[in-house]
Every structure is written in structure tokens, then in C-alpha cells.
Amino acid sequence: MRTFSQWIGAVIISLYPKSRVEGIRVIFTDIAVDRAECVARIHRAVNAMQVAGKPYKSLISRIRYIVIWPGNRTFADNAGGIHIASGDLLGIDELALASVFVHESVHLRIGARGIKYDPACRERIERLCIEVQARFLRNTPGRGEEMAREAEAVLAFPWWTREERESDLERLLDEHQLPKWLRAVVPRS
Ligand SMILES: [Zn+2]
């Protein structure tokens, strides 16, 4: 049965433009973006996960919907949704985007097991998400290996303890020379 907040969420979501990619509902709460371009990018990223093999196909099945929003962070919710900032979606390349979906869908899988994103578990959860993300990248020819190493290097920076310090976070990301594509997964759950 739906809770009241889920019901309210469903009503609100019904008001926004929607699309569908490989069975995944795509909801645009950023109504200013080029929707065809967003759908095409999601399509290519999901295809990259599909061709990468069975473990990644099973991760795709975790994604019930993708919300494209005008905010500044990308995260997984507890109802099978990935919320991606339109700036992230349009600002990173296809392989990076596919790896962000891998990362966030591992969050979905962990959440579906009832494991909460509590401070005590965060480090373990993020390490697991980065591990799967890096494995996915490493499977991909071209820049995959280099990007996998960049993703693993980010674990040296414990962003999961710093989420309340947004402004400070930007400075720290600069200090650590974090590549732009990785910022899509870092300052978030
Ligand atoms: Zn994460």
C-alpha cells in the first residue's frame, strides 16, 4: 500500500512531462531542458550498461524511474528512483553517465535490502558503489581504465562525512582536483 507521501509524490510527478527509456520512466522536473537530448543520453548510457553484461543488466532492473531536476546533485531515493541534476546529465560524456547510473543503482540495490544510509554505514556503502562503478569502467575499452582509477582515487577523500558542508565541499573538490565527471557522484548519498 502506498503511504500518503508516496501518494502525494505520485500526484506531483503526474504533472511533469515524462518519457520512457528501456522500460524506465523518465520524469522531467527541470522543464527547461532539451528533453530529446536527455532521453538520447540516458538511452546510450543504459545501452552501455546492457552490453557490459549480466550484473549491469540486473542493476538496470533496479531503476524504476529517473528524475531530471534543475538542482546540483545526483542521488538515489528509497523508491527505486535516480534523481540526476540536468547539469550532470548534459555535462558529462556517455561512459561517465553510464558509470554514474551504475553507482546510483548499487545504492538502489543496497536500499532495497533495507540497509539505510546511516552515518555508520556510509563509508562501506560508498566504497561498494565505487568498487562496482570502477569495475564497470574497467570493462570498457578506451578511457575506461583511466576513469576507473580516478573513481577509486576519490575514496581517499571521505566526502560522505562532509555533506553538511556544501560550500566547503566545493573548495575541497577543487583542492583534490576531482574530475568534473566524478563530481556527479561525490557530493551526495
Ligand atoms: Zn554514492
- What are the extents of the domains in the chain? 16-157, 159-189
151-172 pLDDT tens trace: 998 888 777 776 555 556 667 6
Q: Is the predicted pLDDT of residue 1 greater than 70, yes or no?
A: no
* Residue 181 Cα to ligand 1 middle (Å): 14
* Residue 163 Cα to ligand 1 middle (Å): 12
Residue written as grid cell 500500500: 1
Answering whether pTM is above 0.85, one says yes
* Residue 120 Cα to ligand 1 middle (Å): 14
Contact 51, 95 (CB under 8 A): no
* Residue 161 Cα to ligand 1 middle (Å): 12
Give the torsion sign (CA, 129, 130, 136, 137).
positive
Which pLDDT score is estimated for 161? 76
135, 183, 133: which is closest to 159 by C-alpha? Answer: 183
Reading the block at residue 152, the C-alpha cell is 577509486
Judged by phi (left if over 0) then psi (alpha if -120 to 50, else beta), residue 114 lies in: left
* Residue 186 Cα to ligand 1 middle (Å): 7
* Residue 4 Cα to ligand 1 middle (Å): 27
Residues with CB under 5 A from ligand 1 (ion): 126, 129
Give backbone dihedrals phi and psi of 27, rounded to 5 degrees, phi first. Answer: -120, 130
77-127 pLDDT tens trace: 988 999 999 999 999 999 999 999 999 999 999 999 999 988 889 999 999
What residues contact 15, with CB distance under 8 A and at least 6 apart? none
What residues contact 157, with CB distance under 8 A and at least 6 apart? 172, 176, 178, 186
* Residue 166 Cα to ligand 1 middle (Å): 16
* Residue 119 Cα to ligand 1 middle (Å): 13
Sheet-wide strand order for 75-76: 18-21, 24-28, 65-69, 81-85, 75-76
* Residue 34 Cα to ligand 1 middle (Å): 26
Contact 162, 172 (CB under 8 A): yes
CA-CA distance, 28 to 17, in Å (whole number)?
6
Q: What is the CA radius of gyration of the chain?
A: 16
* Residue 162 Cα to ligand 1 middle (Å): 13
